[in-house]
Structure 1
Amino acid sequence: VISLPFGLVLKMNESSGHTTKVTTLQLLSSLKAINHPFLFHCVFSSMKDRGYMVSTWVDGDSTADVWDVLQPTDLKRMADDLQDQWQALQSQTENQRHPICSAAGGTIVDARVPWIAEERPQVFHDCCVSATEVWLGLDYDIPSGQALRKDMQTVLDTVYHISFCHGDMLPKNFISPGGLARWQEGGSRVCFIDWEQAGWLPIYWDALKTTWVEDDTNSEYT
């Protein structure tokens, strides 16, 4: 990552990662009410193995870095802001027919379900099939597998709508542009960054994944 003049940043990465992010930012630029970095340009090396992307740099505080100093009123406002933007993303992309795939159209690449890309790479056309690929171990004849299947059976049996999802909605990926103080004064909305794991997924995906990174089910974040 290299800082450039005029509030820009150059990011260099494997081409696959940039393909997902470029496709995502191009889509987001056509949508309303979602705060995200703006894509200027992206080129790939002659071997197509590396990408070079120029986008706006979102200067501000990561929510993860300021979490401990947020007041109850801050948390309420942030929750409302995130929910508004999340619902805007869903309402503008929700549909019944889109395949379940990465933003670039290939198999889902997700650090928390790596076996999908590594062992059985595919594009899904059925929510129920994709759910069984995510939730491995449900058929194991062990207490934990049986308990999990009981809890997840409704998800496994339900055909959900598909929407475009961020895929990694952690506090570190929410930035308060201009810093926390400016955000507290109402000068900005939270900006979503790091869309590398974005894709077309069941509408519950972002909400479900936020629970995977919290050990405490009663934490303020979950």
Structure 2
Amino acid sequence: MSAITSFLRPDFTWPRPMGSSICKSTPKVPSSPGKLRLRAWGIVHEALYYISEWYCACFGIQFDANIIQLPFGLVLKWTDRTSLEEAAAMHMARAAGMPIPKVLCCGEHPNAPYNRNFSILMTRLPGSPLENSADTLLVESEDPWLFELRECVIAMRRWTSPHSAEICSAIGTSIRSPRVPGHIMGPFADENEFNDYLLSTASGHGFDTTAEYIKALEQANEIRNYPHRITFTHGDLKAHNILVGDDGHLSGFLDWESAGWYPEYWDFTTAMRYGTNSWWFQVASWIGGDQYRRELKCDIALNSLTVDSYIAF
């Protein structure tokens, strides 16, 4: 009886250990499900939403309308940022051997309020999320997760895009990022078009003088002087998206909603532009970000110029 009830508990998980090596060749891009199938699963997911309210009440856990907890080690992600592109990126990363939740099915919700138009039913992984701090990174003292995370990031950067647009999602469409108005952009034919878009909302609102604004604009535009490879990118490489098991190994790599094909610096500057010299800044720098210090200065300037355009979303 206890074995049966363990499947129902909110701490039941489906471990996905790291592969012996992460595939360095591009995983196959999954085919997109048909509209009828997406809508049918959407109806099922809407029913699961209400089941989760009852389930959470039974186990005394807080109900989250975005990350919906379910029995049998399942989680339903249903936010205004969830998309088919995220599900495709998860399929690719899991196929490469990374510890990624297994996508079971996707649902479409054409009439849902607040732009919650898509949902993903997936397995729950074990482990605890990392937390940033002001500590000093001691590489030789860290558990295996640090080296395993670096292996995942390095492997992704060796994949090659099958799409004609250089900067796009895993399936060649728009990419989602909390760093732009409406949190969606592209696809873009090349890096110049990408940079033009990022700077299109530049404003002097946050500067005391015109001289400060011009200086920041010049610094942000300096990114154009550095050509970059286009690599597969997680898009939100933050500490809270990394799960570590009790054994110290990487047990989960989460939240692929911003994943896609970006200039090679994007993952690192996104991770490093806040909390300079914090513990996570040092992690991202050690993984590979240290080679993009010039780009980081440009990215920080870009953020100061454009943050007003997306911070309210």
How would you bin the TM-score normalised by the shorter chain? 0.7 to 0.9
Alignment partner, residue 107 of structure 1? 174
**Partner amino acid, structure 1, of 2:265:** Y
The one of 246, 254, 258 equivalent to 1:197 is: 258
Alignment partner, residue 148 of structure 2? 81
Alignment partner, residue 212 of structure 2? 143
Structure with more contact order per residue of length (Cα contacts < 8 Å, sep ≥ 6): 1
Q: Call closer, same or farther: CA 1:70–1:218 in 2, change over 3 Å.
A: closer
Q: Can you list the C-alpha shifts for 1:51-99, whole angstroms capped at 9, x where unaligned?
A: 332211112211018x689983454754433221100111124689642
Q: Is the 8 A contact 2:233 2:266 kept in 1?
A: yes
Q: Call closer, same or farther: CA 1:12–1:115 in 2, change over 3 Å.
A: closer
Whole-Å separation in 2 of the counterparts to 1:70 and 1:146: 32
The one of 87, 111, 114 equivalent to 1:22 is: 87
The SS at the match of 2:100 is coil
- What TM-score comes out, normalization by structure 2 length? 0.55
**Partner amino acid, structure 2, of 1:165:** T
The SS at the match of 1:40 is strand
**Partner amino acid, structure 1, of 2:247:** R
The SS at the match of 2:83 is helix
Report 1:1-222 matches (<5 A): 1-14=67-80, 17-30=82-95, 32-45=96-109, 47=111, 50-64=117-131, 72=138, 73-75=140-142, 77-93=144-160, 98-114=165-181, 117=184, 121-135=185-199, 137=202, 142-147=211-216, 149-150=218-219, 153=222, 155-177=223-245, 181-183=246-248, 188-214=249-275, 217-222=276-281
Whole-Å separation in 2 of the counterparts to 1:176 and 1:23: 24
5+ residue gaps in structure 2? 1-66, 282-313
**Partner amino acid, structure 1, of 2:78:** M
After superposing the two structures, state which structure 1 stretch, 192-201 or 32-41, moved more. Answer: 32-41
Q: Call closer, same or farther: CA 1:70–1:151 in 2, change over 3 Å.
A: closer
The SS at the match of 1:92 is coil
Q: Can you list the C-alpha shifts for 1:12-48, whole angstroms capped at 9, x where unaligned?
A: 334x623222121222233x24221111111223658
5+ residue gaps in structure 1? none
Q: Is the 8 A contact 1:95 1:162 kept in 2?
A: no
**Partner amino acid, structure 2, of 1:129:** E
The SS at the match of 2:122 is strand
The SS at the match of 1:20 is helix
Whole-Å separation in 2 of the counterparts to 1:76 and 1:146: 42
- What TM-score comes out, normalization by structure 1 length? 0.74
Q: Is the 8 A contact 1:63 1:174 kept in 2?
A: yes
**Partner amino acid, structure 2, of 1:21:** E
Q: Is the 8 A contact 1:103 1:199 kept in 2?
A: yes
The SS at the match of 2:277 is coil
Q: Which has the larger radius of gyration?
A: 2
Q: Call closer, same or farther: CA 1:35–1:152 in 2, change over 3 Å.
A: farther
> How many residues are aligned here?
206
Identity of aligned residues (%): 24
Q: Call closer, same or farther: CA 1:94–1:87 in 2, change over 3 Å.
A: farther
The SS at the match of 1:101 is coil
Q: Is the 8 A contact 2:134 2:278 kept in 1?
A: no
